[in-house]
Chain A
Amino acid sequence: MSMFLGPLDSEARVPPRQQTRLAAFLISAHGALARQLALAVPVHLRFGWETELHAQFYRETEIVSLLMHATSWAPDPELPLFSLSWENAWLPKPAAGVTDWTQGLLIDTAAFGHALHAAIRPAALLPLEASALDPFVVALRRIEFESGRLMQAQILFLKSPQLLPVRDSVNAAVERRHAQVRELWEAMLGSIGLRHDQPASQQA
């Protein structure tokens, strides 16, 4: 098993089967986050941080759209089963230990967003030789690059003074979402022949 996508074709492109499974995972996760954000963005913005939420909603949608257009799709009979488990995992689950149900839900959404943008590094899967002209390659690089900025809204919220009283719950929610996202990401990578090195404590 390799740590990187491939073997690349004669034009240094990622095999369509790998593109399909990878893009489907990312579309599922970013699409779920976009749906959660769509519900969280109020019709009329009242707080400054809600503008970040609004911006992120469109960024997540852009990622979904970009992957739909940039991926060389191939038939993948196993995809429906994978998708089912992914979609089930992304369902909102209010952070445990937070009495305010709405706040618990917001924490979970932010934790999910943090995990998605922090733990998933699609560009790190690309071998050095991958074509810089290929739209799928550029899309993965763009998604990873934007993730560093997109996660800031989550960090600001999750580390905000207003959540200090429930910091342990916040930490638990973020760690839970990280573990969940990583586990599904690793499993998906394994299904397309990739080995992703990780610390021993995070190995199943």
Chain B
Amino acid sequence: MAYLSYGSHTIRYELSGPEAGPAYVLVNGLTQYAELWDAYRDALVAKHFRVVTFDLLGQGESDKPSLFISQDDHVAVLRLLIDQLGDGPIFLTGISFGGIVALRYAIEHGHKLAGLVAMSTFAELPPQLFLLGNVMRTGLILGGTSYLQDMLLPMNLSDAWLAPLLDKLESVKRQGWLVNDVYALQNLMESFLDFEPLTPKLNAIKIPTMIMNGEFDFLTPRPLHDSLRTHIPDSALIIVPRAYHAFTLEKSALTADLLARFAADVMTKQWKGGGSVWIAPEEAGGAIEPFPPGYDHLRALPIRLATT
């Protein structure tokens, strides 16, 4: 574990894998910490990637500013981290809150990246997400981190994942509860109070971009990802079957495989973005299928697209 200075603050990060390999930088979601990427680190290092994981400012073992934190701080930290990685190809991915940080970095410093993967994320705050965010903040304030976890677990993970853990949920939640301080989470959430939509700036992202959305993600549903797809020129939307918002936790082998395949496609110039829509396989290594033509990928029902 290494530490990086950002002003008077310290950021904990970890670099793994061969120094000469292409790099993957993984950005946490709101209540996460670096160790939750361990399975990704192992899978990507085995494929000769250099992997960077870290705790965002205000998270885990990174410093937690007492009162004031802005999303600009996260982008600045990411810039410091990525500047350390040399001239090889660099791929950046982030989930949810981390996806916004990654999008903002790509808008401002995309020339330093070979590719971007935006997972369960968004560039705007429509009413449902805005209100859900408020509910989560209020829940955190009134019920603490544990209550926030209780809200997020059933929202973001499937019955299949939850069922075997139901009788030991307290121990599942404990590490997240221990490393997350209420005030620090609240500061992270309040960095959204002056959130400006990124949508008008998305066309500044010129690099290959894979957008991943869980089939059943209702926290950040498909239209939010489709907005990324339609505004980022060289992008493709991959729908992850039977997945919810936190599919990176639930389907780590599949997601790590898709990350590696995306990077390989980009580096061998086989990437086909072009605003296409795909369906990920159920298991790692399976075929990525194009979304059936003629159907509306924004609907849950098999509605045919209107013909013009």
Contacts and interface: CB of A to CB of B under 8 A. Distances in A.
A29 B66 CA distance: 18
Contacts of B61: 197-199
Contacts, number: 67
A155 B193 CA distance: 14
B160 interface: no
Contact of A171 (B5, B66, B177): B66
A170 B67 contact: yes
A175 B7 CA distance: 14
A114 B66 contact: yes
Interface in A96-125: 114-115, 117-119, 121, 124
B44 interface: no
A151 interface: yes
Interface stretch (A17-25, A35-43, A59-67, A142-150): A142-150
B9 A118 contact: no
Contacts of A200: 3, 10, 12
Contacts of A158: 67
Interface in A158-204: 158-159, 167, 170-171, 174-175, 178, 197-202
A51 interface: no
Contacts of A167: 68
A118 B12 contact: no
A128 interface: yes
A118 B144 CA distance: 11
Number of contact residues on A: which range applies? 20 to 34
Contacts of A155: 67, 183, 186
B67 A114 contact: yes
B12 A199 contact: yes
B8 interface: yes
A178 B8 CA distance: 14
B3 A118 contact: no
Nearest to A114: B66
Contacts of B186: 155
B171 interface: yes
Given A199-B10, A201-B10, A148 B67 contact: no
A122 to B, nearest CB: 13
Nearest to B64: A199
B181 interface: yes
B63 A118 contact: no
A164 to B, nearest CB: 11
Contact of A152 (B9, B141, B170): B141
B182 A128 contact: no
B67 A199 contact: no
Given A145-B144, A171-B66, A114 B183 contact: yes
Contacts of B144: 144-145, 148
Nearest to A203: B10
B67 A159 contact: yes
Given A199-B10, A200-B3, A151 B67 contact: no
Contacts of A118: 66, 181-184
Contacts of A201: 3, 5, 8-10, 63
Given A149-B142, A197-B61, A199-B10, A128 B66 contact: no
Interface string B159-173: 000000000001100
A175 B140 CA distance: 22
Interface of B: 3, 5, 8-10, 12, 61-64, 66-68, 140-144, 170-171, 174, 177-178, 181-184, 186
The 7 closest A-B pairs by CB, nearest first: A201-B10, A118-B183, A148-B182, A174-B66, A148-B144, A178-B66, A199-B63
